[in-house]
Structure 1
Amino acid sequence: MADLDDLRDGTDFSAARTASGGFHLKGQSGQDWGMRARLSRVFDPSDGKTVMLAFDHGYFQGPTSGLENLERSILPLVPQADALMCTRGALRTTIPAENGKGIVLRASGGPSVLKELSDEELAVSIEDAVRLDAAALAVQVFVGGENETKSIKNLTTLVDQGQATGIPVLAVTAVGRDMVRDARYFRLATRISAELGAAFVKTYYVEEGFETITSACPVPIVIAGGKKVEEQEALRVAYQAMQEGAAGVDMGRNVFQSEHPAAMLAAVRGVVHDGLTPTEAYELFQSLSH
């Protein structure tokens, strides 16, 4: 076992790693053809970035505000997203097979909001993921949580299955109520996820040191949209994250809980793919809201 008596935090985060080896995503040039093909359905090959639309909240929250009727709230937004993050139930019941988007399939679950959320199991077989033509599989990782080791085992099991079938795995870093959301924690959680085989990682943006998180992680990082905030603030966070090395955003509540979801998703696309500033993106949002 490694000697923990003189464990020191890393200090050299001067430059974020970029894509190399002829593929548009960092750390993925050595993957099999099928893996790279699926990642190219999540991340736009023209710029290596993604706007994911997350609406998997019901797997532990039930009918979340804005997701009471998926057909009414989500289907109109599908054309503007690069990829859809959802459960297999929502996919089969609501999303047309001809939608043309990369599907990031929620593959872990178990406890509801009434229980300890870190006590998850794998909830989708790799065979069903193949049947559904998933572009990626998403699993929650609770570094520092009550069931940390169990969630890490879920990740590594899914990575093994994904490597055998050509399906990349997205590790989603979960944060408990009593845990500090800072760069040091997210460097730990994202690096562990990447070291254990995740092809890309979803994490939260932090105001101080986010560039050290993206620099230290050898695979792409996508930021979580988080709780609903004002549109200007959500666009500012998306912009800052992209400037500091993120490869995209996975936004849910800040889109489908907006008064103008389609306009908000278009503004987010402007930030991620077109480099719009928060001011320019908000102006776009306002112009499309009328």
Structure 2
Amino acid sequence: MHIGKTIRLERIVNRDTGRAIIVPLDHGVTVGPIEGIIDMRDTVTRIVEGGANAVLMHKGVVPCGHRARGRDIGLIVHLSASTNLSPFPGAKTLVCEVEEAVQLGADAVSLHVNLGDESERVMLADMGRITREASHWGIPVVAMVYGRGPKIKNEFDPSVVAHCARVGMELGADLVKVPYTGDPESFSTIVAGARIPVVIAGGPKTPTTRDFLRMVSDSVQAGGSGLSVGRNIFQHKDPTRLLQALGKVVHDGWSVDEAMEGLGE
């Protein structure tokens, strides 16, 4: 592996555990300035204090502070976008280039592909080009791959998720983000078929903190490499303490009960 890529990967993935806690903050383009990401400097500070490995954001937000007091945090610049106002919200368009992300100081880049969407072929072509350019620059690629389109009845179906993870690997991603399939047994097959680190998405905000921690714990026990979760973290009443608990689950092997006790819940 390119030494530059190896160095950058260690800025977004814990080198001792091989796992990552990534907090996406790219929701502003998709749904607007929702609760938890209005004051980005405050949000990033809380995330840094909680011990997350990396944040993920669009290029225009980077100057608003991906750094925080005390220490730095890994930076993943997101390259693709769409909005919920569009008649085609599943069609992701490239809005940033790899070289641009490198100039911003990115440790990695990410892009979103929806398999099954009418514009799938465009997103796959974009991914092929981005992974090629990223390899040239020695910068890791995080691929968010979901099954969303007219033929997809259930995006959490293990066969759909396995296909998504495999596409991420086969098209050159260094880490792939997919939905959690709901149980460790089925998710272990996703990990086995991907052959690169697999992290779970958060999806809609979970009903309780325990539900969220259980999902993360189960995914890690199934061989997953952590999480890339936004709303369940930045909309929590105390993101810093939640991240500290997540760190214990993901990197130190704590049980859900131990993590809940640490949270005081």
- Any residues of structure 2 matched to 1:233-244 within 5 Å, and which? 233-244=211-222
Q: Which runs of 5+ in 2 are unaligned?
A: none
SS in 2 for 1:207: coil
The one-letter code of the counterpart of 1:138 is S
**1:143 maps to which residue?**
115
Of 68, 73, 78, 1:101 maps to 73
The one-letter code of the counterpart of 2:34 is T
Of 162, 182, 187, 1:187 maps to 162
Work out the CA distance in 1 between the residues paired with 2:15 and 2:235: 29
What is the RMSD of the two structures over their aligned residues, measured on CA atoms? 1.6
SS in 1 for 2:115: coil
Deviation at 1:117, TM superposition (A): 2.0
Of 200, 206, 219, 2:175 maps to 200
Deviation at 1:276, TM superposition (A): 0.8
Q: Could you tell me the TM-score, scaled by structure 2's length?
A: 0.92
User: In the TM superposition, what whole-angstrom CA distance separates every residue of 1:44-75 from its partner, at most 9, and x where no partner exists?
Assistant: 11111111122111121110222122123332
Q: Does 1:286 align with 2:245?
A: no
Count of residue pairs brought into register by the alignment:
256
The one-letter code of the counterpart of 1:40 is E
**1:211 maps to which residue?**
188
% same residue: 29
Deviation at 1:100, TM superposition (A): 2.1
Work out the CA distance in 1 between the residues paired with 2:201 and 2:18: 17
* 278-287 or 261-270: bigger deviation: 278-287
- Any residues of structure 2 matched to 1:67-86 within 5 Å, and which? 67-79=37-49, 80-86=51-57
**2:62 maps to which residue?**
91
Work out the CA distance in 1 between the residues paired with 2:98 and 2:162: 29
Question: Is residue 56–residue 78 contact of structure 2 (8 Å, CA) maintained in 1?
Answer: yes
- Any residues of structure 2 matched to 1:1-290 within 5 Å, and which? 31-79=1-49, 80-96=51-67, 99-109=71-81, 111-115=82-86, 116-176=88-148, 179=152, 180=154, 181-208=156-183, 209-229=186-206, 230-286=208-264
User: In the TM superposition, what whole-angstrom CA distance separates every residue of 1:14-57 from its partner, at most 9, and x where no partner exists?
Assistant: xxxxxxxxxxxxxxxxx111111111111111111111122111
Query: Which stretches of structure 1, 4 residues or more, deviate above 4 A after TM superposition?
Result: none
The one-letter code of the counterpart of 2:44 is I
Q: Which runs of 5+ in 1 are unaligned?
A: 1-30
